[in-house]
């Protein structure tokens, strides 16, 4: 699998969030807090993880997303999982 840049991962995350949650692209920024800024809850987070898993083929364990609070946290976690899958 080709290496993903932070921006590649961010674009995938942003596109998934816009599509799944009908958010405006402009509000999905790296520093946006999932619940406070975007109004997402834990069920939404699960939907997002499933979507990203299907799009990237990455292996996801629920514990890996327990500490995710911002869009940047998602990008870092997803990128880390993609790197692990390449090894």
Q: Is residue 50 within 8 Å of residue 78, measured between CB atoms?
A: no
pTM of the model: 0.87
Q: Is residue 52 within 8 Å of residue 16, measured between CB atoms?
A: yes
CATH fold label, 6-86: 1.10.1200
Measure the CA–CA gap between 33 and 3, rounded to whole angstroms. 27
Measure the CA–CA gap between 44 and 83, rounded to whole angstroms. 24
Tens of pLDDT along the chain (87 residues)? 457 899 999 999 999 999 999 999 999 999 999 999 999 998 898 899 889 888 888 887 777 888 899 999 999 988 888 777 665
Indicate the domain borders of the chain.
6-86
């Amino acid at each position: 699998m080709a290496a993903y840049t932070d921006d590649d991962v961010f674009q995938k995350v942003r596109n998934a969030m816009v599509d799944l949650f009908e958010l405006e692209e402009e509000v999905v920024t790296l520093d946006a807090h999932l619940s406070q800024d975007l109004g997402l809850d834990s069920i939404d987070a699960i939907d997002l993880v499933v979507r990203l898993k299907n799009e990237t083929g990455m292996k996801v364990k629920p514990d890996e997303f327990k500490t995710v609070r911002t869009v940047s946290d998602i990008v870092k976690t997803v990128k880390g999982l993609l790197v692990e899958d390449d090894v």
